[in-house]
Amino acid sequence: MDQGKHFLFIPGPTNVPDRVLRSLSQPMVDHRGANFPEFSKPLLQDLKKLFKTEDGEVFIFPSSGTGAWEATLLNTLAPGDRVLCSRFGTFSHLWIDMCERLGLKTDALEVEWGEGVPLEQYRKVLERDEQHEIRAVLACHNETATGVTSNLAGVRKVLDDLNHPALLFVDGVSSIGSIDFRMDEWGVDCAVTGSQKGLMLPAGLGIVCASQKALEARKQAGLSRCYFDFEDMRATNADGWFPYTPALSLLYGLRESLDMLFEEGLDNVFARHHRLADGVRAAVRGWGLSLCAKGPEWESDTVSAIYVPEGHDAKAVIHNAYHTYNLALGAGLMQLAGKVFRIGHLGDLNDLMCLGAISGVEMAMRDAGIPIEPGSGVAAAQESYRKAAAAASK
């Protein structure tokens, strides 16, 4: 089905706006030319605004968000260091797996999928750590596999209450640029994201924002590193250069995407994502289905994982949506495979685009034999969006 526009509603990569597409097609320049710092230095400074940090430093690696994860660990920790983490979805699991493969000791807490970072369990583990052997606490801000957002301010409060010196590392791959994130206020030491989610770019950039505490920790870090060394970046970024060839086209796109976010205003960006997510959640209720997120306090504003009724296969919904209606939905991962489909609602989207996706999902579910009332989700989402529009116009 080649006619019309493909409906991309996975939680990443997201739609690339026309403005960003045009920026990606600029001619190449000499990244060591005399004028390059006029472009690169403001870009690095503006990224700090996205993370809401004054003192942090931002590093852009030609990689994915996973590369940014690895850079964070390699530059701050040593072999055998203990880290506290929790597993409640595919991506929190993968970070734990990376820690173990790099030779770190993980205190990995198992959490029911549909919930997020377990604050009280973190508190109990950290209380017992009287010798402060735990060097870092890991928190997945938004678990993309389950559509769950965790309370980062709560993690910081636990650390502060106990006066625990552990570093706080945050996976913000599917939250930063879409959900409110406050690096300095929440005392985050390293936050990572990728270019293909809220930043509305193709995949290819792994971005780390590191606090001064994290940069100081590098002096005792014992894990080997080369490509991902913060110090190589710091030595060159300060004057507007990179230690190796940067992904220049993606940097052009990043400049344009940041301009778009700042023109809209970050608070407005976050409010738009919340509004769009509310409409999707209204549709789920209209269908009589359930989210994977176990309660409103966990619900994500960037992705919703939706259970199909028992006896039905979510893979059939995804297949029908793609092959019949040109609509791409996210699949259930690991233990959720075949049980949920995911609607990504982040990046360059508006109300009517979401309504189109919700309509396609309804048809795909009915084609898969799931007994839902035609138009039930669409009508519920319409009312949600209409109420939000009316409230905004007052």
Assign 235 to helix, strand or coil: helix
User: Letter for the amino acid at 188?
Assistant: V
The per-residue DSSP string of 45-57 comes to HHHHHHHT-SS-E
Do the domains at 18-263 and 266-393 have one common CATH topology? no
pLDDT, residue 2, reads 66
Give the start-to-end residue ranges of the domains of the chain.
18-263, 266-393
Token pair recorded at residue 219:
């002096």
Mention every residue, 6+ apart, whose C-beta is less than 8 A from residue 153. Answer: 182, 185, 186
Q: What's domain 18-263's architecture?
A: 3-Layer(aba) Sandwich (3.40)
pLDDT, residue 272, reads 98
Q: What is the pLDDT of residues 362-372, one digit of tens each?
A: 999 999 999 99
To the question of domain 266-393 being in CATH 3.40.190.10, the answer is: no
**Secondary structure letter of residue 201 according to DSSP:** S
Q: What distance, in Å, lies between the first and last C-alpha atoms of the chain? A: 42
pLDDT, residue 136, reads 98
Token pair recorded at residue 21:
């597409």
How far is Cα 273 from Cα 302, in angstroms, rounded to an integer?
A: 7
Element (H, E) at 134: strand 134-140
In this prediction, the residues of the chain whose per-residue pLDDT falls under 50 are none
Nearest-CA neighbor of 11 among 341, 339, 250? 341
How far is Cα 194 from Cα 344, in angstroms, rounded to an integer?
A: 16
How far is Cα 363 from Cα 359, in angstroms, rounded to an integer?
A: 6
CB contact at 8 A, 303 and 342? yes
